[in-house]
């Protein structure tokens, strides 16, 4: 059974990519371009991956926010898959289960203040109910911008110029995407300074204003697709190529009671990222 973060659906279509040949580039100028436009992850540590996982919410919060449910069965399957894939890429995975807003704020501030000089990247994954602009902790709503701000260049200087990746599995509104039938012809830094907003990427499970889906036994459509594509292509393709395939899989292979889901990538990355 599939659930929107608050609804359940009985009629669900679950998913049951051609390999592109790699070509070698030998020209010196091309090699220089590759180096210029590729993030350097050659550090002693890959980085930290924090997973914020909400399997249940406080009853008072559910009542105050008029949520349909505070339980999120299947989310621990997402945690399991995420832990496996990011550990395999050398990340130190840290998990916060059913934590209060105060606890999450404290933990994330501490992570932002850690020594990241020997780390090449940072990852944060949020698994929860949500609405436009943020997500629910165990006892309160937290704006996603709060997390982003902790790791911007002015706040976390040792991650300046390094990729900071956020993946958010949560509803961003209450609209449903009913899908549409395709048209017949359509196949299915010279200044030495850097913007404080640079090198961020946030991949949302759904588009602004819409619900996100999660299977009560197998995990969410978005996170499971993300983990599958990272496992399959993470050592071969650049990250944006992989995330585009995640979008493709979720958009075309999943459906619940005629409802669809369209993940959304917001990228401020300035280079290619190969995990």
68, two tokens: 């349909």
Annotated catalytic residue 171: yes
The single-letter DSSP state of residue 21 is: P
pLDDT for position 202: 98
Half-sphere exposure for 82 (CA within 13 Å, toward CB): 30
pLDDT tops 80 at residue 15: no
Determine the Cα–Cα distance for residues 107 and 50; give it in Å rounded to an integer: 9
Q: Which residue's entry shows tokens 């899908």?
A: 179
pLDDT given at position 33 = 76
Q: What is the mean pLDDT of the segment spanning 80-101? A: 98
Residue pLDDT, tens place only, 178-194: 888 766 544 444 456 78
Report CA dihedral (57, 61, 64, 70) to the nearest 10 degrees.
0
Q: Which runs of consecutive H residues, i.e. helices, occur in 133-179?
A: 144-150
Can you tell me the distance from the alpha carbon of 233 to that of 225, in angstroms, rounded to the nearest whole number?
A: 12
- What's the CA gap between 100 and 21, in Å, rounded? 47
Check if the beta carbon of residue 84 is closer than 8 Å to that of residue 223.
no
Pick the catalytic residue: 171, 202, 203, 215? 171
Query: Is 248 tagged catalytic?
Result: no
Architecture of domain 2-13+43-179+195-267: 3-Layer(aba) Sandwich (3.40)
- Enter the tokens of residue 126: 């949020």
129, 202, 203, 227: which is the annotated catalytic residue? 129
Q: Is the Cβ–Cβ distance between 89 and 123 less than 8 Å?
A: no
Any idea what DSSP says for residue 5?
Answer: B
- On the question of pLDDT at 40 being above 80, the answer is yes
pLDDT in tens, 210-265: 999 999 999 999 999 999 999 999 999 999 999 999 999 999 999 998 999 999 99
The pLDDT of residue 20 is: 42
233: left (phi over 0), alpha (psi -120 to 50) or beta: alpha
Domain boundaries, the chain: 2-13+43-179+195-267
């Amino acid at each position: 059974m599939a659930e929107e973060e608050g609804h359940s659906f009985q009629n669900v279509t679950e998913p049951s990519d051609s390999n592109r040949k790699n070509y070698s580039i030998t020209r010196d100028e091309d090699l220089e371009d590759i180096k210029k436009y590729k993030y350097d992850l050659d550090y002693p540590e890959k980085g930290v991956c924090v997973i914020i996982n909400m399997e249940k919410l406080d009853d008072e919060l559910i009542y105050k926010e008029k949520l349909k449910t505070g339980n999120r069965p299947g989310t621990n399957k997402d945690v399991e898959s995420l832990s496996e894939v990011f550990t395999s890429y050398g990340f130190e995975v840290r998990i916060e289960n059913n934590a209060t807003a105060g606890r999450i704020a404290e933990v994330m501030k501490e992570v932002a203040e850690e020594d990241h000089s020997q780390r090449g990247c940072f990852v944060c994954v949020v698994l929860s109910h949500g609405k436009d602009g943020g997500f629910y902790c165990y006892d309160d709503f937290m704006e996603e911008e709060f997390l982003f701000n902790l790791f911007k260049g002015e706040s976390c200087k040792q991650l300046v110029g390094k990729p900071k990746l956020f993946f958010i599995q949560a509803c961003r509104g209450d609209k449903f995407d009913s899908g549409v039938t395709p048209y017949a012809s359509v196949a299915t830094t010279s200044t030495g300074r850097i913007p404080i907003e640079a090198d961020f990427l946030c991949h949302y499970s759904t588009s602004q204003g819409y619900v996100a889906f999660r299977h009560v036994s197998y995990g969410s459509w978005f996170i499971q697709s993300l983990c599958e594509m990272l496992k399959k292509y993470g050592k071969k393709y650049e990250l944006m190529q992989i995330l585009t395939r995640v979008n493709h899989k979720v958009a075309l292979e999943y459906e619940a009671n005629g409802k669809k889901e369209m993940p959304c990538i917001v990228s401020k990355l300035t280079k290619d990222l190969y995990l």
